[in-house]
Amino acid sequence: MKLLLITASSNEIKRIRKSRVIGFQQVTMPYLAAMVPHHWSIEHIDEDVNRVDINTDADLVAITFHTPSTNHVYELAAQFRQNGVPVVLGGPHVSLVPEEAARHADVIFVGEAEQLWPEFLNDFERGRSKKIYKQDVVPSLEGIPMSRKDLLYRKDLSGGIIFASRGCPNKCEFCTISVMYQNSFRKRPVEEVAREYGSFKGKVIIFWDDNIAGDIYFAKCLFKAITPYKKWWSSQASIHAGQDDEFLELAAKSGCKQLFIGLESVSQKSLNNASKTFNRVDEYYKIIEKIHYYGIAVQAGVVFGFDDDDKTIFRQTINFLETAGVQNATFNILTPYPGTPLFKRLQDEGRILTFDWSKYNARTYVVYRPKNMTPEELLEGFNWVNQRFYSIRSIIKRIGNSPTGMWWTLPLNLAYYFSNKFYGYGNIGYASYLLTHDEIV
Ligand code: SF4
């Protein structure tokens, strides 16, 4: 029996990733592959680096995907099914919009797949698989086998990718994580994570956690356990990471070099309206200073387009990031992913402009009607921020204000500068991505 696993990516997503210098690979399939019985042979195609061959000799195809790749995945699925190969769909978009995904697949997985995956494969071999495998109860993360390292393909500057926890205890209005994981936050046993962490040969490890600061006590235990491996690591974290000295001290000792902190906005009103009241803008400078004090660089996650954002938000954000000496930043256009409270609210208010999921990429389209700007102004401001943040002028200013992370900040910022010049914002014809009237529903 042969199983073809696909980590899907549309052409547009691949183009966006090219401009981002660092684009870490998805690890779902290498983890699921580790749970497949030995009598199956496995091929894994990560579409960011390899092409899918529709004329596969596989007996079964399983595809995981995010919302922007939906149209592409449905086309792939139709071609495989036409060739007589059954298709299983799973991943974030399927969990958020299962009824839609079910129309394009033989089997769908709703929610986390690990517990039901062996049961499905067993059913499939006996010719009695069900249409839907739904994980109703939030599963434990105990005993998850190490991912299949031989199936991690992308050259992404990291030496290994791993996860220690899943989900997030918070409930931000725009976030898919809290919806997909039913507001749960779960941890793998510390010793299992440490064993897997130590098993990677490379020096730089990425924790693929939604929020490594979701349980501060757990995080401290984890940091103590991984310190002896003397590796470097980075992860996403909520602002709570920067409020606890012991957390930062242990993180730094264990090799943390950068934290991706979800600042989201420099407007307190915007944060409050997005149910992210625990982010206090008046504490941002102090928190960033504290993270820097422990030798950890900050990558800020910023979103534009909240209802309280007007055209001044772009300049305010740049002023803040430059003054605080933030080393790196990821900017997103607010995007109401299906299933989120934000999607429901904007739909009720009649402000969704398109249901074409391929445009829900948070980078090249505005898919809803913002309150205090036009969609064009939001897109233009977003592009301006990207160009300005990675301009030589801003790099010099931010690095001058960054007491730490020069070894990492300078090469990475210069890489972004050149990448933006060749692939990125302002160079891939953004005007053509604006929604036309025909597309407005
Ligand atoms: S803190 Fe981050 S991961 Fe958690 S719900 Fe908010 S946006 Fe999502």
How high does pLDDT run on average in the chain? 90
Ligand 1 site-directed mutation target among 170, 209, 273, most atoms within 8 Å of CB: 170
Close Cβ partners of 315 (under 8 Å, ≥ 6 residues apart) = none
Beta strands in 203-341 (DSSP E): 204-207, 232-237, 256-264, 297-304, 328-333
- Distance set, CA 180 to CA 142, 193, 358 (Å): 19, 23, 20
pLDDT at position 409 over 90: no
Which ligand 1 atom is nearest residue 264's CA? 7
Separation of 345 CA from ligand 1 center, angstroms? 18
Q: Which residue has the tokens 């070894």?
A: 407
For ligand 1, what atom is nearest to the CA of residue 214?
Answer: 4
More confident residue, 368 or 403: 368
The per-residue pLDDT for 401 is 74
The secondary structure of residue 343, as a DSSP letter, is H
Q: Has residue 258 got a pLDDT over 80?
A: yes
The pLDDT of residue 435: 34
- Is 43 a residue whose pLDDT tops 90? yes
pLDDT at position 422: 65
Residue 4 clears pLDDT 80, i.e. is over it: yes
Nearest to 172 by CA among 218, 239, 235, 91: 239
pLDDT of residue 427 exceeding 50: no
Q: List the structure tokens of 316.
A: 């305010």
Residue 185 in this model has a pLDDT that exceeds 80: yes
- pLDDT bin (cut points 50, 70, 90) of residue 49 is confident
Gap from CA of 419 to ligand 1 centroid (Å) = 28
Testing ligand 1's pocket by substitution, the residue of 207, 210, 302 carrying the most ligand atoms inside 8 A of its CB is 210
Tell which residue, 210, 66, 189, 186, has the closest CA to residue 137. Answer: 186
Q: Domain coordinates of the chain in residue numbers?
A: 2-134
Provide the pLDDT for residue 22. Answer: 58
The reported pLDDT for the residue numbered 154 is 62
Distance from Cα 257 to the centre of ligand 1, integer Å: 21
- The per-residue pLDDT for 441 is 28
Tokens matching residue 298: 């900050």
Tell me how far apart the alpha carbons of residues 108 and 88 are, in angstroms, rounded to a whole number.
6
Ligand 1, atom nearest to 262 Cα: 2
CA distance linking residue 378 with residue 382, whole number of Å: 6
Q: Measured in angstroms, how far is the CA atom of residue 331 from the centroid of ligand 1?
A: 15
CA–CA separation, 267 and 308 (whole Å): 8
Ligand 1 mutation target, pool 171, 172, 261, 277, most atoms within 8 A of CB: 172
Burial class (CB in 10 A: 0-12, 13-18, 19+), 436: exposed
- For ligand 1, the distance from its centroid to the CA atom of residue 332, given in whole angstroms, is 14
Q: What mean pLDDT is predicted for residues 322-336?
A: 95
Q: In this model, does residue 433 exceed pLDDT 70? A: no
Ligand 1 neighbours, Cβ below 6 Å, are 168, 170-172, 175, 177-178, 210-211, 238, 262
What is the tens place of the pLDDT at every residue in 88-124?
999 999 999 999 999 999 999 999 999 999 999 999 9
> Which tens digits make up the pLDDT trace of 125-176?
999 999 999 998 889 999 999 999 888 876 666 788 999 999 998 999 999 9
How many CB atoms within 10 Å of residue 245? 11
Residue 424 has a pLDDT of: 56
Q: How far apart are CA 13 and CA 10, in angstroms?
A: 5
Distance 219 CA to ligand 1 centre (A): 17
* pLDDT attached to residue 411: 77
Using the mean position of ligand 1's atoms as its centre, give its distance from the Cα of residue 52 in Å. 33
Distance in angstroms (rounded) separating the CA atoms of residues 342 and 176? 10
Question: Which of 267-276, 290-299, 421-430 comes out lowest in average pLDDT?
Answer: 421-430
Checking if the pLDDT of 434 tops 50, the result is no
- Burial bucket for residue 1 (CB in 10 Å: 0-12, 13-18, 19+): middle
Predicted confidence at residue 431, as pLDDT, reads 29
What residue owns the CA closest to ligand 1's atom 6? 172
What's 2-134's CATH class?
A: alpha beta
User: What integer pLDDT is reported at residue 21 of this predicted model?
Assistant: 56
Q: Report pTM.
A: 0.90
Q: Considering only CA atoms, which residue is closest to atom 8 of ligand 1?
A: 175
Task: Determine the distance separating the centroid of ligand 1 and the alpha carbon of 320, expressed in angstroms.
Answer: 21
- Report whether 274 contacts 173 (CB < 8 A): yes
Distance set, CA 413 to CA 259, 327, 387 (Å): 16, 8, 12
Ligand 1 centroid, distance to 377 Cα (angstroms):
26
pLDDT over 90 percentage in the chain: 78
Q: Residue 425: left (phi > 0), alpha (psi -120 to 50), or beta? A: beta
